[in-house]
């Protein structure tokens, strides 16, 4: 799969942009604040309907303008998909595929697969559990629409239950209503736990293999799923925790408290890993994401590398670049020096200056 063209109108600092990328490696270079990340963001938005930064549509619209337009052509298995997005200030965005409006953003998910890689991803081991859950959920949602829907339902129930815990504080009679939400959380939560269990097993295998190659077989990486509760103990745990939940007005049992344990040679990297070890393991996880999406979708995803090359040493850079052959890749950087030195060949180079391409 690859992006054949991207057209933007009033998107962030671009009044107008037409980009014709190569199906291979595309370098987008330029000074700071010229619009490099904005281009990657637009491609990701075009493929997933969401900004990788989590920005609201109204903030993406070029300052002083009312609307923003994006058009992207994706070629996949000889089909040409035209994706149109119309961003508005106070309304949900309009999305059409081949000129036919779609109602749910999820309809795009089966068509386009993208992986966004930014320097923050290299901190996934160092950061808190929520980053690791996000990593897991993002991949699972991209590959499995039912998971996406279960996760949304689960989060909705969780919010309702937390709100109820606040209300009970003022009106203790409401406590009986907790049972309904507990049951709903078990219902959706168990499905999340099942899928995360499968996912972690497959991630462990893929990341383990990649990490061995990346470290010249000196490190054995293992990923394990640290679930907050077993499905069979879920109800018990909810009952045991209820009093504490009422006191803290927060829900403590369930997969929203899950984590991933990443260890090297038996040592938990979250606690004992050196910075370099943590970053190398994070790279293995990210490379696993690419492979797992490719395997599940039977198609190479489009890869967006925002400023990550400069964050990696020469060996890691080479490993990354050698593992993305035949994958359409967009790489942003501030200078071209790093590529002149390496044996690596870019297929197309774009120079971004003040919201335009030179």
Site residues (vs ligand ATP, CB under 6 A): 12-13, 30, 32-38, 59-63, 334
Minimum gap (Å) between residue 52 Cβ and Mg ion: 11
59-to-35, 53, 76, 89 alpha-carbon distances in Å: 15, 11, 31, 8
CB within 8 Å of 223: residues ≥ 6 apart: 200, 203, 204, 207, 208, 260, 261, 262, 285
Minimum gap (Å) between residue 41 Cβ and ligand ATP: 7
Q: Which does 329 bind (CB under 5 to 8 A by kind): ligand ATP, Mg ion, none?
A: none
Q: Residues interacting with Mg ion, by CB under 5 A?
A: 37
Q: Return d(Cα 85, Cα 97) in angstroms, integer.
A: 9
Minimum gap (Å) between residue 354 Cβ and ligand ATP: 9
CB within 8 Å of 261: residues ≥ 6 apart: 223, 224, 225, 226, 268, 270
Total length of the chain: 358
- When the beta carbons of 38 and 113 are compared against ligand ATP, the nearer one is 38
Q: Which does 242 bind (CB under 5 to 8 A by kind): Mg ion, ligand ATP, none?
A: none
The DSSP-derived string for 84-114 is EEEEESSSPPEEEETTEE-S-GGGGTTT--E
Minimum gap (Å) between residue 146 Cβ and Mg ion: 35
Minimum gap (Å) between residue 118 Cβ and ligand ATP: 10
- When the beta carbons of 36 and 191 are compared against ligand ATP, the nearer one is 36
- When the beta carbons of 14 and 319 are compared against ligand ATP, the nearer one is 14
Minimum gap (Å) between residue 252 Cβ and ligand ATP: 38
Minimum gap (Å) between residue 179 Cβ and Mg ion: 49
- When the beta carbons of 38 and 251 are compared against ligand ATP, the nearer one is 38
- When the beta carbons of 268 and 307 are compared against ligand ATP, the nearer one is 307
- When the beta carbons of 55 and 197 are compared against Mg ion, the nearer one is 55
Q: Are strands 67-76 and 94-97 parallel, antiparallel or unpaired?
A: unpaired
Please provide residue 192's backbone torsions phi and psi, each rounded to the nearest 5 degrees: -65, -45
CB within 8 Å of 21: residues ≥ 6 apart: 2, 3, 4, 5, 6, 328, 330, 348
Q: Which does 327 bind (CB under 5 to 8 A by kind): ligand ATP, Mg ion, none?
A: none
Q: Which does 13 bind (CB under 5 to 8 A by kind): ligand ATP, Mg ion, none?
A: ligand ATP
185-to-55, 60, 165, 310 alpha-carbon distances in Å: 29, 35, 14, 43
- Which position's Cβ is nearest ligand ATP? 37
Q: Which does 192 bind (CB under 5 to 8 A by kind): Mg ion, ligand ATP, none?
A: none
Q: Which does 34 bind (CB under 5 to 8 A by kind): ligand ATP, Mg ion, none?
A: ligand ATP
Q: Which does 38 bind (CB under 5 to 8 A by kind): ligand ATP, Mg ion, none?
A: ligand ATP
Please provide residue 56's backbone torsions phi and psi, each rounded to the nearest 5 degrees: -75, 150
Q: Which does 49 bind (CB under 5 to 8 A by kind): Mg ion, ligand ATP, none?
A: none
- When the beta carbons of 26 and 37 are compared against Mg ion, the nearer one is 37
- When the beta carbons of 45 and 192 are compared against ligand ATP, the nearer one is 45
The DSSP-derived string for 165-203 is HHHHHH-GGGGGGHHHHHHHHHHHHHHHHHHHHHHHHHH
Inter-residue contact 31 to 22 (CB < 8 Å): no
- Which position's Cβ is nearest Mg ion? 37
3-state secondary structure of 4: strand
Residue 207 in tokens: 């990341």
């Amino acid at each position: 799969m690859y992006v054949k063209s991207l057209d933007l109108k009033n998107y962030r600092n671009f009044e107008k942009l037409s980009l014709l990328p190569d199906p291979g490696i595309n370098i987008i270079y330029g000074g700071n604040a010229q619009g490099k990340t904005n281009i990657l963001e637009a491609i990701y938005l075009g493929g997933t309907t969401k900004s990788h930064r989590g920005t609201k549509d109204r903030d993406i619209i070029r300052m002083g303008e009312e609307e923003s337009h994006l058009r992207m052509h994706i070629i996949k298995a000889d089909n040409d998909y035209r994706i149109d997005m119309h961003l508005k200030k106070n309304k949900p965005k309009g999305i059409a595929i081949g000129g036919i409006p779609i109602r749910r953003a999820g309809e795009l998910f089966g068509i386009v697969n993208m992986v966004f890689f930014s320097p923050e991803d290299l901190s996934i081991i160092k950061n808190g559990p929520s980053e690791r859950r996000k990593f897991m959920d993002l991949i699972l949602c991209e590959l499995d629409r039912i998971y996406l829907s279960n996760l949304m339902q689960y989060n909705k129930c969780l919010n309702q239950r937390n709100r109820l815990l606040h209300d009970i504080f003022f009106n203790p009679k409401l406590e009986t209503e907790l049972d309904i939400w507990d049951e709903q959380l078990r219902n959706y939560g168990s499905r999340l736990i099942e899928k995360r269990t499968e996912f972690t097993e497959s991630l462990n295998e893929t990341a383990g293999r990649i990490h061995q190659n990346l470290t010249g077989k000196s490190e054995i990486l293992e990923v394990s799923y640290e679930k907050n509760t077993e499905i069979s103990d879920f109800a018990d745990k909810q009952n045991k925790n209820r009093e504490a939940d009422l006191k803290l007005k927060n829900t403590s049992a369930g997969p929203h408290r899950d984590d991933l344990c990443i260890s090297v040679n038996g040592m938990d990297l979250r606690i004992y890993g050196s910075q370099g070890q943590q970053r190398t393991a994070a790279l293995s996880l990210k490379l696993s994401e690419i492979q797992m999406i490719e395997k599940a979708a039977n198609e190479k995803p489009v890869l967006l590398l925002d400023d990550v090359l400069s964050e990696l040493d020469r060996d890691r850079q080479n490993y990354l670049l050698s593992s993305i052959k035949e994958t359409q890749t967009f790489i942003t950087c501030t200078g071209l020096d790093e590529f002149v030195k390496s044996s690596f060949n870019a297929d197309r180079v774009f120079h971004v200056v003040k919201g335009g391409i030179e």
